[in-house]
Structure 1
Amino acid sequence: MRRGIWLALLFCLLWLAAAAWPVGAKGESGKTAQLAVVTADQVNVRQGPGVPYRPLANVHRGEAYRLIEVKDGWVNIEWKPNRTGWIAARYVALAKETAIVQENRLRLRQEPSRDGRIIGHLARGETVWIIKEDGEWTEVIADGAIGWVSSAYLTAARESSISHQTGIVNASSLNVRAEPSLKAARVGRLVRGEEVEIVEKKPGWYKIASQTGLDGWVSSAYVQVKGGQANEKEAEAPQSADRSLLSAIAPSDSRLYVDSWTRGPVQALAGKTIVLDAGHGGKDGGAQSVDGIKEKELTLETAKLLKNKLQSYGARVVLTRSSDEYVPLSARVAMARLYQADAFISLHYDSADDQQASGITVYYYDRFADYGLAQSFEDPLSRLAALPFRGVAFGDYYVLRENDRPSVLLELGYVSNRTDAATVATDGYQEAVTAAIADAVRHYFE
């Protein structure tokens, strides 16, 4: 009788333990996802599942943590051994495992179909996190971007040993960091031609050991694996002497151009990526003055001039369009995410029924993420003599609302006003306004 009681108690205890054991999030396949991969630059780990709970630490884009539980839009992770916390679910993707890309310039698509929009390319040897599978397609996280690739060109990471793999640095100067994150401290630099041993891989990063004893994490973009293909993605190389183009196909089949790091010493914007969005283009002409001045032509001219000025401060510059072509708003926002922009600036020229409306306005959407950037324009633009500065204002625009990067939209004059239109079309105004914008961006990051 006593033995039966003990067995019953043991059964109850085992049942209670099983019921209380935390379970991972269920994917569509019904399998338990083991990892939560961070998809934003910096995310708070909180004591509980909600904003009111105290922040415990920060986690960063591309980092993966053991998943414990998903609850009411929050994800419980083990962010340190035996230490758990909660992060907002919108900033993570649930992943099962990693895989290695087996094809150079593998297309990353928005949907699991050959007709899906191409949002970028992956390089042979690149490591990606697997989110889920759908027939012959796999959804992956690659260096912060999420999309679909053909499963045939992926090999499970566990099947691809990287022990004793040797890489060669193919950037003039490559930062070595303490952790696989652009936010991590720099511990040293490597130069072109140096050989390193690759001891670990994470999406977009290699953990290396150099012959000089320097150990740490480097961007996989500028390390060529011996016997493999060079990674064609943009490097984290502030002093690269090459001027190359990295292209990704946008939904409209237009090309997105990324200029390499500029020559010269490290300057105010070294290491910063700025996305310049020349408003309108192609079939979307934007506003037009009575004298035939088109907004789409003005914005492109401004973007090209501004690009040169930002590059002179050491920035990497991404143009959403480099010619008179139509680029959907979603593609412009996707580019900011794909290239992990430190700032997104959308350039426009205004129009109003009131033909006396005049001046420059800076718009932001997110009070916390965008307002600081918007404020940095106030002083430089208010000092322009050509047009009045109308101030900083809230703007519910798609490229701001749907953007998770610090973003502003600049209206640089009214083409509906004859005087404004004549002014903004001059070379002198274009030089002055782009100099003011570049100055604002420089002060924002300083």
Structure 2
Amino acid sequence: MKKRKPLILVICLMLLAGISQAEAQVKTENSSVTITTNNLNIRQGPGLSFPILGQAQTGDQFNALSREGDWIKINFQGESGYVASWLVSDMTASQTGEKAAASTNSQAIITTDGLRVRKGPGTSYGVLGTIQKGTAYKVKSTEGSWVKIQTPYGDGWVANEFVQYSGSQKKNSSSSSQTGKITANSLNVRNKPSLNSDIIGKLNSGETVAVISQNDSWTEISFSGNAGWISSQYIAVQSTQSKSKRKQSASGKSGTITATSLTVRNKGSLNGKPIGSVTKGQTFPILEQADNWVKIEYQTGSYGWVASWFIDITAEKNSGSSQQSVNGSSAIILHNGSNIRKKASSQSSVIHRANKGDSFEIISLNDDWYEVRLPNGGTGFVAGWIVTVEGSAPAVTKPGAEQHLQNKTIVLDPGHGGRDNGTTGARGTREKDITIRTAQLLADQLRSAGANVILTRSGDTYLPLPSRVGISHDHNADAFISIHYDSTPDRTARGATTYYYHPFQKELAANIHSNVIAMTNLRDRGYRAGDYHVIRENKRNAVLIELGYLSNPAEEALVASAQYQQSATAGIYQGLARYFKN
């Protein structure tokens, strides 16, 4: 027995040393955390099964004691408590010192695609989102081999090896006399470009302010004689220089913005970097068109791309081919099985079928149809909206989808509501809140096209499933769309799925699903039969669509963004138009 005591003592000392070493590895010295959601549960241990000590609200700050996996130990009202790391933002003392101040005059240019932005300086921290190669973000501070930058997801950390640094961030010159129009009510003005900074006042929609500088996420303005900061997505920046100096449209077309606030990007893609915004009613010359995007001069000397489904494009009427410059131009077919007809009419006979990528010499332009040279030497006509043009020939815009939606009765069903929250995302997003936001945005778009739109709920109210179906039947709906967001224990699951129950509902599901995927670039999980009450018991054309996974933290951040909401609703809008057209 006596011989065992030294051995037991050695083992205990080794275990104690290991515990001390492990604790040192996760200790967050001189660190604090800021709560990013309301009514966050503070628990007695690092897990959802532990009792609740109390609750914290958005913006509350606590001293961080240590980190255990996905949980952070904090000092809560004199006791030790635990919070989920994906529901807080970390802020260490080194982030607020001289090092941070020294680095704020530079930008980090990303050198790889899909770079993860994390909540803290290390791979153990939660992922806020991903950013792409070539984008540039303001540097906030550095710590070891990590750099803190200002991103569309908020302040986050990326590995230093994947960035290059530029010089001082350019400020907008006062000689440009830029002003901005506020596009949101009760917009907070802060003393620093951070959601954690103090609010020094508020602005309302329509107010005009002087712009001092801009970066990706924040705009510096003159406010009550001092400098203040507002979110860039809620201001439309304009120059006071004469609009007559804008470049004239090379296509002879102009476009009027139809969205309340539309993001301008540096390239024609949802992956393009946001560089500004424009507001409803503004009109710009169309400089270029590519797929579903158009290039505009949104400020004097500043050019960018906006989604064409939120812009009303008008063109000069074509009175004949002799007035159009088409020399050396070609029409490139966009879809397989495209018809080339004998005359410039969709009622004319088909004389040739072409496939995606086929190129034809343009001979003339007749209204919205190109006369093209066929392989056999003959000529035919192809609709201008199913081709893209190379050369000097003017592009033709597809006739508006609104003509197919006029007078249609469409019932929108925002999932859940009231006491039924639906699923709750990894970051705290409640399904019932985001479904109503999606439905209201879509309703505005459909109504502007002349559709008769009914929402099963317009507020945070509970509505039984049979009542939702009853609304569809009572209004003899031409289409019923039930809007949801998905969830699964697998936090890597992502993508959109559309469901139908009855065979006659399948075509509507196919049209909506394909357009949503095209507009959002979400992972395509397909459209399929599903046994859901609101479509099973529905005698009208009805579908249920899951617009992304709230259980995936990265996808949750994406689907909650204004840009995604615009794209998703545009996809449903176009899908409905295509269905009714057919």
TM range (shorter): 0.3 to 0.5
Task: Give the number of the structure with larger relative contact order, counting CA–CA contacts within 8 Å between residues 6 or more apart.
Answer: 1
TM-score after normalising by structure 1: 0.40
TM-score after normalising by structure 2: 0.31
